[in-house]
């Protein structure tokens, strides 16, 4: 395996068996780490973050249904995708490609929700729990707010 591609290795994401709409987890980072020319969403995050949020809206509906039907296996598989969306969102908001080989996901990022690492660890530790789904919703909502603040800050710094 390509040494650079190891940056995307994490046991939580090893069994991704699905995709949401057009979303393939870490697609652009795979291209980057394989040395294949591709778009770099972390450099033009506004357009790509809108795509992440569209995918999240679709996934959230599927997750809610899985929890209502008490289908833990489906909920767990979908939560892995949800966490992948969250991780991409956070990295792209920070204008960096995803790298999962750090001590903790998100290490070194500036724009993060409060207690991000602990909350993410809880979600990843028990992804089939409904409480983990609620926590994922809360984290994504907090990242949306951080994103809005960041855009306003950038807009004012350009003036």
Three-state SS for the chain is CCCHHHHHCCHHHCCCCCCECCECCCHHHHHHHHCCCCCCCCCCHHHHHHHHHHHHHHHHHHHHHHHHCCCHHHHHHHHHHHHHHHHHHHHHHCCCCCCCCCCCCCCCCCCCCCCHHHHHHHHHHCCCCHHHHHHHHHHHHHHHHHHHHHHHHHHHHHC
How many residues belong to the chain? 159
Structural domain including 93 reads 24-37+45-158
Per-residue pLDDT of the chain (159 residues; tens, 9 = 90+): 577 777 777 877 876 655 555 678 888 998 998 899 999 999 988 889 998 999 999 999 999 999 999 999 999 999 999 999 999 999 999 999 998 876 678 888 999 999 999 999 999 999 999 999 999 999 999 999 999 998 888 888 776
- Rounded to the nearest angstrom, the gap between the alpha carbon of residue 125 and the centroid of all alpha carbons in its chain is 16
Task: Tell me, yes or no, whether 7 lies in a domain.
Answer: no
Task: Tell me, yes or no, whether 8 lies in a domain.
Answer: no
Task: Tell me, yes or no, whether 18 lies in a domain.
Answer: no
The structural domain count of the chain equals: 1
Task: Tell me, yes or no, whether 64 lies in a domain.
Answer: yes
Task: Tell me, yes or no, whether 50 lies in a domain.
Answer: yes
pTM here is 0.90
Task: Tell me, yes or no, whether 1 lies in a domain.
Answer: no
Task: Tell me, yes or no, whether 10 lies in a domain.
Answer: no
Task: Tell me, yes or no, whether 17 lies in a domain.
Answer: no
């Amino acid at each position: 395996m390509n040494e650079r591609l190891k940056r995307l290795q994490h046991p939580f994401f090893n069994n991704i068996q699905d995709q949401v709409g057009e979303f393939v987890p870490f697609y652009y980072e795979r291209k980057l780490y394989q040395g294949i020319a591709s778009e770099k969403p972390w450099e033009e995050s506004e357009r790509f973050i809108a795509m992440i949020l569209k995918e999240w809206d679709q996934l959230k509906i599927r997750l809610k249904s899985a929890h209502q039907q008490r289908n833990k296996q489906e909920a767990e598989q979908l939560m892995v995708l949800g966490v992948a969306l969250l991780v991409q969102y956070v990295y792209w908001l920070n204008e960096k490609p995803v790298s999962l080989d750090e001590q903790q996901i998100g290490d070194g990022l500036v724009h993060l929700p409060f207690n991000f690492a602990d909350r993410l660890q809880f979600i990843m530790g028990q992804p089939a729990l409904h409480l983990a789904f609620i926590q994922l919703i809360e984290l994504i909502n907090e990242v949306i707010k951080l994103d809005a603040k960041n855009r306003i800050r950038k807009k004012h710094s350009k003036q």
